[in-house]
A and B are shown apart, each in its own frame.
Chain A
């Protein structure tokens, strides 16, 4: 088994790397506080340097790899595989003397109960060989057995010692995992997963997070936010705190999770404000879907129209496509929220 040595000016730490395991997974699994965002080749947060020729890329065309200076040995830790011992230079700010308190792990699981819940959205479950604890808002990397590359999926609920994890997936043209799910070729499958991961989390037991919330979600980006809200409802968070939420999709028929959102609203009707938005002009918008008010426009536009005074001192959770995230981030920064109070995963 190869030994990987992560090093910088502050120190060095050596870990084992299992066959087929990425350098990021090997490091995190053994407590090395490596930087990461998506863990799946998109966000470029895990750039490091390797001696040229000592690492292989699992996905050379990964979006996050486009900025790499390969002549300098730059690589994405989340896409790097090794077969021999190697040294990896990581950013100098990382304290390699520190060890992560909670470490993600590999696990085998069974994928089942695929259900199409909107034209381009499905839910599925994973039954674990074992159980997992995670913080609301976290995600797992999931890989169909025999398929190259992991994809990140946020859990849509909150459980302790979970034996079954619940997810949502969006149909992506030519996405292999997505094709398998929506093509009905997979009703049940073996998968490898790694996690939990992610920092866009909510822990209401922390006094610093005893706050009003704002949640802005687009499409399947609502997944992690549903986990945050499930956690909040489980401790009656909204009996003493407010929620302002906008959930947007392209067309009215694209909505899903509406029953779950109604239950969150009903848990504390005076403090919970949930709005729906459709972005496609000419979409058959009416005043409401059920008892949830419906608006025309992109999520951040609707939030801006409705949210005057709703953002101050709140903890914000965002989820959705890049343009929605950028628009929402601009709105919240403009309203004076510090970046430390705005949480989202950079999957796209």
Chain B
């Protein structure tokens, strides 16, 4: 468990705010996160799809531990972040834990996806 006095950690929501298979967006103060629940497990992720930045609280579907973005059907294992099917980038997670029935996450730094492909760096304008 993290150091409870660590100011980088914030209470995001109550565990009971989210039912199994649900994705919900929350503001941390400086930026937004999405909290996902798979059974008794919670994951705190950036609010956008790693593909084309679709808002996951609207386009994301969580079923059986798999997150699917309905926009282009990219999928991930929600517990590990690993890509499934056509997805080309993994999910990233904020460090998180349950404290006294609340979801806490280490949100001192916003996690962002690098949307540019390797090719882009070589493309001289």
Query: Is B96 interfacial (CB-CB < 8 Å)?
Result: no
By the criterion CB–CB under 8 Å, are A325 and B70 in contact? yes
The smallest C-beta distance from B83 to any residue of chain A, in angstroms, reads 13
- Chain B residue, CB-CB nearest to A73: B125
B75 CB contacts on chain A under 8 angstroms: 339
From B61, B68, B72, B119, contact of A92 by CB (8 A):
B119
A325 CB contacts on chain B under 8 angstroms: 70
By the criterion CB–CB under 8 Å, are A49 and B120 in contact? yes
A45 CB contacts on chain B under 8 angstroms: 72
**Interface residues of B, CB < 8 Å — how many?**
27
- Chain A residue, CB-CB nearest to B68: A333
The smallest C-beta distance from A306 to any residue of chain B, in angstroms, reads 19
By the criterion CB–CB under 8 Å, are B117 and A346 in contact? no
Interface residue tally of chain A, by bracket? Answer: 20 to 34
CA distance in complex: A189, B125 (Å)? 44
By the criterion CB–CB under 8 Å, are A340 and B85 in contact? yes
B95 CB contacts on chain A under 8 angstroms: none
Given the known interface contacts A51-B125, A67-B53, A92-B118, the answer about A326 and B63 at a Cβ–Cβ threshold of 8 Å is: no
From B59, B63, B88, B119, contact of A89 by CB (8 A):
B119
- Chain B residue, CB-CB nearest to A44: B52
By the criterion CB–CB under 8 Å, are A8 and B119 in contact? yes
Listed by A's residue number, 23 A-B pairs whose Cβ atoms lie within 8 Å are: A8-B119, A9-B119, A9-B122, A43-B71, A44-B52, A44-B71, A45-B72, A49-B120, A51-B125, A52-B125, A67-B54, A69-B115, A89-B120, A89-B123, A91-B117, A92-B118, A92-B119, A93-B88, A326-B70, A333-B61, A334-B21, A334-B64, A346-B71
Give the 4 A-B CB pairs with smallest separation, nearest first. A334-B63, A333-B63, A339-B73, A330-B61
